[in-house]
Amino acid sequence: MQISRSLFDEVMVPNYAPSAIIPVKGEGSRIWDQQGREFVDFAGGIAVNCLGHCHPVLVNALTEQANKLWHLSNTMTNEPALMLAKALVDNTFAEKVYFANSGAESNEAALKLVRRVALNNYGPHKSQIIAFKQAFHGRTLFTVSVGGQAAYSDGFGPKPGDIDHAEYNNLDSVKALISDNTCAVVLEPLQGEGGIISPTPEFIQGVRELCDKHNALLVFDEVQTGVGRTGELYAYMGLGVVPDVLTTAKALGGGFPIGAMLTTTEIAKHLVVGTHGSTYGGNPLACAVGLAAFNTVNTSAVLDGVKEREQWFREGINAINDKYKVFSEVRGKGLLLGAVLNADYAGKAREFMLAAADEGLLVLMAGANVVRMAPSLVIPKEDVSQGLARFERAVAKVVAAAKAV
């Protein structure tokens, strides 16, 4: 059977518009397509492949578990799930863990939990959720409504109610919305889809204080920032603020689907038996791989290495910009970085992404004005150098095309 991009259009629901590239093999920070063409991967499966492709530690964990036990459902627990939960509890603020299959499911659990806590402790009036414009929390109807992007949530009928959106890094806009009827404030400790926006210390600390004042829970969506992405195990650890609930996914499985919600014993007690669940949540295969990924990343060598690699990227992008003058700044932290296009190239992030692919480099977008990079946390310097050289050629092509118009 001939497998080609056209087969996608024939058999798949058209909610995606994938590249013509069909990868068939990956190793480290490089992939190869059906024709054997090599690409340097600065996309990381959208911040998922924290150890690159086919890391031997993850392959071994998956292979070993695949020969033991695949699935039980939640009528029973299993050793990999308990071991991963223990590792998460031992290394974070959390005391209790709930496993899901994705970031969206982890956020769905968090949102249901904060509503349940408020209902049980204060009554039905305390149901308001405050989130932020340009946020992204997943694609379920609840999570997409909490995410502050109407383009993703409109067109599906009535949305879950009592959700309001403030402006990120604008504490006054939070103050204008929050009250004793607020059950939770939900935010990313570094906005990803919204443009790679880092929070100011004053903003993040102020939100924590407002939550405390109004008996509201603070939920950190660390689906994209978690498991080493910012150079901390979790981003909250570098902000001086501890959330009440934290969600994690993406890098948690190093490429194998898994998500988790972390919280305290006092909060977790409100999800009694029967209130929430997931058939695949805590799957032995996923948790075995997740534990291997978590333990590999949670070392000073890897976490310090992320900070070192951030500088390689910043220096390389700035050097390119010195020649071509296309970026206004480089945003982000660790290996979640966004090169922001200046006014002359506003709205052209997709052109840069496509030009990079033509040069053998995979990058991402974070809105129309930001080229996003989220590579492996252990990407070798040689791959960074080669990838940036390819990126420079892509930038040169876009600039030349713009000048020719």
Q: Write the secondary structure of 211-273 as one string of H (helix), E (strand) and C (coil).
A: HHHCCCEEEEECCCCCCCCCCCCCHHHHCCCCCCEEEECHHHHCCCCCEEEEECHHHHCCCCC
Residue 398 annotated in ligand binding: no
Residue 192 annotated in ligand binding: no
Residue 209 annotated in ligand binding: no
Residue 174 annotated in ligand binding: no
Is residue 183 classed as helix, strand or coil in its secondary structure?
strand
Burial 257-289 (b: 16+ CB within 10 A, else e): bbbbbbbeeebbebbeeeebebebbbbbbbbbb
Residue 235 annotated in ligand binding: no
Q: What are phi and psi of 315, to 5 degrees?
A: -65, -40
Residue 104 annotated in ligand binding: yes
Residue 221 annotated in ligand binding: yes
Distance CA 356, CA 151 (A): 26
225, 193 Cβ separation under 8 angstroms:
no
Distance CA 282, CA 81 (A): 5
**Which residues, including other chains, have CB under 8 Å from residue 195's CB and lie 6 or more apart?**
134, 331, 338, 340, 366, 367, 369, 370
**Which residues, including other chains, have CB under 8 Å from residue 201's CB and lie 6 or more apart?**
239, 240
Residue 356 annotated in ligand binding: no
H or E stretch at 39: strand 38-41
**Which residues, including other chains, have CB under 8 Å from residue 384's CB and lie 6 or more apart?**
309, 312, 313, 316, 375
- The terminus-to-terminus CA distance of the chain in angstroms comes to 43
Please give the structure tokens belonging to residue 22.
Answer: 């069909």
- The residue among 116, 108, 175 whose CA lies nearest residue 145 is 108
Whose structure tokens read 């607020």? 182
- The residue among 310, 402, 313 whose CA lies nearest residue 355 is 402
Is residue 98 classed as helix, strand or coil in its secondary structure?
strand
Residue 103 annotated in ligand binding: yes
Report how far apart, in Å, the C-alpha atoms of 361 and of each of 36, 160, 395 are.
Answer: 14, 40, 12
Residue 223 annotated in ligand binding: yes
Distance CA 301, CA 286 (A): 24
Binding residues: 103-104, 136, 139, 221-224, 278-279
Which residues are documented as binding site for N(2)-acetyl-L-ornithine? Answer: 139, 278
Annotated binding residues for pyridoxal 5'-phosphate: 103-104, 136, 221-224, 279
